[in-house]
Structure 1
Amino acid sequence: MDWLAASIQAHPHKIALIIGGQQWTYADLDKHVMEYCEPLKQIGVSSRQMVGVLMPSCFEYVCLIHALARLEAVLVPLNTRLTVTELDWQLLHLNCTLLICSSATEITASAFVLPKREVVSVHEPQHPVVKYLFQVSPGRIRLRPQPLGLITDGVNLPAPHRNLTDELEDSLQAVVFTSGTTGNPKGVMLTAGNFFWSAAGSAFRSGTLPSDRWLCCLPLYHVGGLNILFRCCLYGTTVVLQDGFDVDAVNEALDTQNITLISLVPTMLYRLLNTRTDFPTSLRLILLGGAAAPADLLEKCQNLPVALTYGLSEACSQVATALPTETKPGSVGKPLMFTSVRIVNALGETLPPGEYGEVVVSGPTVMRGYFGHRPLSGELATGDIGYLDAEGDLFLVQRRSDLIVSGGENVYPAEVEQVLREHPAVAEACVVGIEHPEWGQQVAAAVVLKSPAAEDDILTFSRQHLAGYKQPRRIRFVEALPQTASGKIHRKAVAALFDAVD
């Protein structure tokens, strides 16, 4: 769905994007996007084509996102922090035949060139196997058509002469990877409708003003960062884009750019509060999500417009938000308009207010399903435990039982454990999250050895296979892992092992 084309009809001269000292109106941005569309078409990018993008947040990335939407291709934003092994698995899983990179990621991207996969760069490449997007002559690259059964699994094929409602529902806009509870990455299939209704629900909940400027320091490979880009395009407001969170750059933008909204995870806000106590009067909302906010952090924010949010990739980010005027300690507020939340027991039965159970989400923001899996039946079982009060406000008791959320990044223990067990000296491993004042949680591993090995040996091996944020920060060698009465690993007892040595 081409949001930008609609925006230039409504407000061509409004500022769409600010990066550093440069800015572009919607009309300016549209001209640059058109410059990307033609070479993309020449190499075979077309409707429903999966296109991987491995780039930092930058102007070229923004142009690519809108160009792929205009061509009705499917954006696959890839995490620049992952290892070659992790990225290769994702590209193979989607049968992705085109990867677009930049000069910043060219070295990594060059490893993915295959007879059936092309790698092109938006900058003049230095590596001979990487092609330059803007100098590819017609016919030099020709992408092989992807099997429609793979691309559209769980999403209906669009019919000719669709109306807007059908187009929103049918058009697959992006596949965003998130880890499953087993630790295997899963491709979350998000439609144009998911993004549209997420934007609508957010606007009704948080409000939107013609003068809004949303500071985006979340990466564009995260659904949170991608959502900011699409939402502002639909609202006709401005994105102030930064390449990741740099506290000095964020402070400068807050002081000079009339920022009205900013999306942060607790680790970011923690660092920001260590550098300043006063915030500009233009700032009307700090959307805080991605991980549970510690009580001591919230205590420091009593005079700030903090809006606690709960969301997940499978629901196109935001599910519920508590506005600063709503004072219920621990609550993430009411669900967004058009989104429904219920709490269920193990049998799937709806529980009354105040009773703990699994959070189940439904509505038009819920994904079509995971790529290669059966489509959802309409409801999303999140695995998170919480309850609703009598007024319909949501309280989370814990995030997914085994999930570690460190600095806003999801780390699944099973994935880390699998890597650790591949070390020749490791017999068994259990990975848990340990509370940390800055990061929220820290990855820790209890390891059973079958032959002598040092902690540095284990960590060196792990770094070769896992992204930095997934690395264990603490390792404890044990004779055996504690078990429950049923013979399962007792994760709480493992976490207590680290508490005992603090």
Structure 2
Amino acid sequence: MLQVNRNKTSVTDHERNWRSYMQLPHLRDPLGKRYALCIADASSLISLVLYLKENGGSILLIHANTPLETARATMSDAGCAGLLFGDPTNFYANREQSVIADSEAKVYQFSSGTTGRPKLIGRSWHAINEEIAAYNEAIGLEAWSTPIVLTPVTHSYGLLCGVLASLARGAEPIIVTNANPKLTLGLIRDFPDHIVYGVPAQLQALAALSQPQPALRRLISSGMPMSLQQFELLSQSGCTLLQQYGCSEAGCISLSASMQSPHDLGVPLRQWNVSANGPVQEEHKQGMPAELVAESDGLTVRTGDLGLVNEDGSLTFVSRMDDVINVGGLKVYPLEVEEVIASMPGIKENVIYRGSHPVSGDKVKCMAVAEEAMMPEALREWCLKRLPAYKVPLDISFVTVIPKGATGKISRRQLEQEEAVQ
């Protein structure tokens, strides 16, 4: 059925888990109830998710490393009946008056909260089943292509696309929870017809470690834009690069089955119609990016991303709307500047973010990692030959490491906030 690292879970094991859940008082009748799940063992978690899905229960997945008190507070904020912590037998009932019953079972998650207080978002199992069917149709993989899932299954990308979509097409996913890269490389070697699910930083590390063997077959990225350096490194490995694009409210919106650039978001899944409109609609008519808006069955989702809808219907990512830098009324898209800097010899990594300026309002700031000592003037001169002056970073700092989150994601907003308090 599935495998966690080198340990297999059979259908028989899964059925045994189900029978044990039916004996637990808190899981005997899950219909209409919300459950917060904070469970480290991926095999047990997947069995529990499928059990609750089949029996009309809603779920809220919480990262397994979350402390108990934080998990209980999250459970209460989401209106769950209780929290299963560490193991399905450990149940902490919600004694508050915040318990909410669901008329339709859903998968819940909190938004990232990068632009405000995190918001609880729920999508029905029915909508998720539709997404999985459309996703498998678009990705076009056969059952014998082995999914190797590096992202946590407490995240919708790892759970829905990496595991549940794989099970739906008859594949047996391998969930990797061991941080040792040798295990992943060994699995890739053992299953040459594979597709590896990861975020850009994970895939970059994998490609760097896999030279010259084993051969990488298919790598799929999601969760954050891929940098030019990452795209070029992965492209040089000779594998097929895929990228899926979505958001909390909608799940997977589009899929590129063969990336042509780090901005390639592919074609929307069959249930979605995506347009580029919104507050900068007139600019889009002139070939400028506008907000990507996805619509399906009466649901309208404003993604908060600036992009282009090309003539063939494919999508191109340009920037998060919140990341656009306004220099005296002129817009600067960070990815454009980052790509120019990435093409400079000796630059290993860089990030462009917003700073404050007393006259122009915003200024362009750069944090970069160089292979050898480099002066800011050299980088600025490189940019001036390739960009309009207003897009060239005014402040440049060289560091040994650019701060990243647990998933390898750089938060421009966090960098901006740190500058604000300095």
Asked if TM exceeds 0.5, the reply is yes
Cα distance change on mapping 1:85 and 1:35 into 2, 3 Å: closer
Please state if 1:66 is matched with 2:47: no
Give distance in 1, aligned partners of 2:119 and 2:348: 28
Give distance in 2, aligned partners of 1:187 and 1:497: 39
Give distance in 1, aligned partners of 2:48 and 2:248: 21
Instruction: Report what 1:207 is aligned to.
Output: 140
Task: Measure how far apart 1:34 and its partner are.
Answer: 2.4
> 1:306 is matched with which residue: 233, 236, 241?
241
Instruction: Report what 1:393 is aligned to.
Output: 314
Instruction: Report what 1:53 is aligned to.
Output: 37
Superimposed CA distance per residue, residues 199-230 of structure 1 (whole angstroms, 9 cap, x where no aligned partner): 11221111131213211121111111111222
> 2:188 is matched with which residue: 254, 259, 273?
254
Instruction: Report what 2:305 is aligned to.
Output: 384
Instruction: Report what 2:79 is aligned to.
Output: 95
Give distance in 1, aligned partners of 2:141 and 2:184: 21
Give distance in 2, aligned partners of 1:395 and 1:60: 38
SS, match of residue 211 in structure 2: coil
Please give the root-mean-square deviation of Cα atoms over the aligned residues, in Å: 3.6
SS, match of residue 173 in structure 2: strand
SS, match of residue 249 in structure 2: helix
Give distance in 1, aligned partners of 2:232 and 2:269: 25
SS, match of residue 261 in structure 1: strand
Question: Structure 2 matches for 1:344-359, cutoff 5 A?
Answer: 344-346=277-279, 351-352=284-285, 354-359=287-292
Structure 2: give runs of 5+ residues left out of the alignment. Answer: 325-340, 368-392, 400-422
Instruction: Report what 2:20 is aligned to.
Output: 35
Structure 1: give runs of 5+ residues left out of the alignment. Answer: 1-15, 103-120, 123-131, 158-170, 365-376, 404-434, 447-480
> 2:228 is matched with which residue: 295, 312, 316?
295
Task: Measure how far apart 1:58 and its partner are.
Answer: 2.2
Give distance in 1, aligned partners of 2:69 and 2:363: 28
Instruction: Report what 1:414 is aligned to.
Output: none
SS, match of residue 185 in structure 1: coil
Task: Measure how far apart 1:279 and its partner are.
Answer: 5.8
Preserved contact between residue 339 and residue 361 of structure 1 (Cα < 8 Å) = yes
Give distance in 2, aligned partners of 1:21 and 1:312: 32
Question: Structure 2 matches for 1:260-271, cutoff 5 A?
Answer: 260-271=194-205
Superimposed CA distance per residue, residues 114-155 of structure 1 (whole angstroms, 9 cap, x where no aligned partner): xxxxxxx34xxxxxxxxx55xx9xxxx97779777x444xxx
Superimposed CA distance per residue, residues 258-307 of structure 1 (whole angstroms, 9 cap, x where no aligned partner): 452111111011111221135656x6521112111111222222321111
Preserved contact between residue 18 and residue 238 of structure 1 (Cα < 8 Å) = yes
Give distance in 2, aligned partners of 1:44 and 1:440: 52
One-letter code of the match for 2:322? Answer: S
Give distance in 2, aligned partners of 1:31 and 1:147: 33
Instruction: Report what 1:19 is aligned to.
Output: 4
Question: Structure 2 matches for 1:153-302, cutoff 5 A?
Answer: 157=103, 171-227=104-160, 228-243=162-177, 245-258=179-192, 260-278=194-212, 284-302=217-235
Give distance in 2, aligned partners of 1:445 and 1:237: 44
Preserved contact between residue 354 and residue 365 of structure 2 (Cα < 8 Å) = no
Preserved contact between residue 276 and residue 293 of structure 2 (Cα < 8 Å) = yes
Task: Measure how far apart 1:239 and its partner are.
Answer: 1.2
Cα distance change on mapping 1:65 and 1:258 into 2, 3 Å: farther
Task: Measure how far apart 1:394 and its partner are.
Answer: 0.8
Preserved contact between residue 53 and residue 105 of structure 2 (Cα < 8 Å) = no
Give distance in 2, aligned partners of 1:440 and 1:264: 21
Q: How high is the sequence identity, in percent, across the aligned residues?
A: 16
Give distance in 1, aligned partners of 2:270 and 2:56: 27
> 1:341 is matched with which residue: 250, 253, 274?
274
Instruction: Report what 1:331 is aligned to.
Output: 264
SS, match of residue 401 in structure 1: helix
TM-score relative to the length of structure 2:
0.72
Larger RCO (CA within 8 A; separation ≥ 6): 1
Instruction: Report what 2:328 is aligned to.
Output: none
Instruction: Report what 2:409 is aligned to.
Output: none
Give distance in 2, aligned partners of 1:445 and 1:85: 35
Task: Measure how far apart 1:396 and its partner are.
Answer: 0.7
Cα distance change on mapping 1:244 and 1:343 into 2, 3 Å: farther
Superimposed CA distance per residue, residues 248-267 of structure 1 (whole angstroms, 9 cap, x where no aligned partner): 22112111244521111110
Superimposed CA distance per residue, residues 446-499 of structure 1 (whole angstroms, 9 cap, x where no aligned partner): 9xxxxxxxxxxxxxxxxxxxxxxxxxxxxxxxxxx645667xxx3746975762
Cα distance change on mapping 1:327 and 1:96 into 2, 3 Å: closer
TM-score relative to the length of structure 1:
0.61
Give distance in 2, aligned partners of 1:214 and 1:353: 42
Cα distance change on mapping 1:20 and 1:43 into 2, 3 Å: closer
Cα distance change on mapping 1:441 and 1:92 into 2, 3 Å: farther
Preserved contact between residue 345 and residue 358 of structure 1 (Cα < 8 Å) = yes
Cα distance change on mapping 1:299 and 1:347 into 2, 3 Å: closer
Please state if 1:78 is matched with 2:12: no
Cα distance change on mapping 1:485 and 1:355 into 2, 3 Å: closer
Instruction: Report what 1:499 is aligned to.
Output: 396
